[in-house]
């Protein structure tokens, strides 16, 4: 007998922001929150001047889609600019940093897949000095 997967809904407002690496990062659909088996997705909200510190994923490709605003993505020494409506594929092991040096907030959707064999193996920080979490009026800390 085949078991059918259950659809899961996760609201962005119900997920606490992770600001350890700079901007407001929220993992929405993941093995823990929704029972995903092939990857996970989430969103990044970047205020003016914020960044997500450099890191890579040894097991996963990362897909970015800019919904609103503009960002620069620093990839292994090169830079790519993305504006609303642009997507970017980041291959495994490619160190990347997201920077918002535009004059408006940016909102980015990401997806990673496949999953690492264990969660702690999926993300490797490559920047020794992590950004101070930004705290601005009206934004969650």
pLDDT by residue (tens digit) across 72-106?
Answer: 999 998 999 999 999 999 999 999 999 999 999 99
Cα separation, 58 vs 34, whole angstroms = 23
Q: Is residue 49 part of a domain?
A: yes
Return the bridge partners of 24, or none.
Answer: 45
**Coil, strand, or helix at residue 19?**
coil
pLDDT at residue 132 greater than cutoff 90: no
Mean pLDDT of the chain: 91
CATH number for 68: 2.60.120.10
What does pTM read for this prediction?
0.88
Question: Among candidates 60, 66, 130, 120, which has minimal Cα distance to 97?
Answer: 130
Q: Is residue 106 part of a domain?
A: yes
Q: What is the pLDDT of residue 128?
A: 74
Contact 25, 75 (CB under 8 A): no
Q: What is the pLDDT of residue 136?
A: 41
| Phi–psi pair at 9, nearest 5 degrees | -115, 135
pLDDT at residue 138 greater than cutoff 70: no
Contact 81, 70 (CB under 8 A): yes
| Phi–psi pair at 21, nearest 5 degrees | -110, 15
Q: What is the mean pLDDT of residues 52-74?
A: 97
Q: What is the pLDDT of residue 6?
A: 86
Domain count, the chain: 1
Q: Is residue 111 part of a domain?
A: yes
């Amino acid at each position: 007998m085949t078991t059918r997967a259950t659809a899961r809904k996760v609201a962005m407002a119900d997920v606490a922001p992770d600001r350890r690496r700079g901007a407001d990062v929220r993992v929405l659909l993941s093995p823990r929150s929704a029972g995903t088996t092939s990857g996970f997705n989430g969103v990044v909200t970047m205020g003016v001047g914020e960044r997500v510190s450099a890191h890579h994923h040894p097991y996963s490709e990362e897909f970015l889609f800019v919904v609103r605003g503009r960002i620069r993505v620093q990839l292994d020494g090169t830079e790519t600019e993305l504006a609303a409506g642009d997507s970017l594929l980041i291959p495994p092991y490619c160190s990347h940093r997201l920077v918002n040096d535009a004059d408006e907030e940016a909102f980015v959707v990401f997806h990673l897949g496949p999953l690492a064999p264990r969660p702690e193996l999926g993300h490797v920080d490559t920047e020794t000095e992590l950004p101070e979490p930004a705290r601005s009026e009206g934004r969650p800390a």
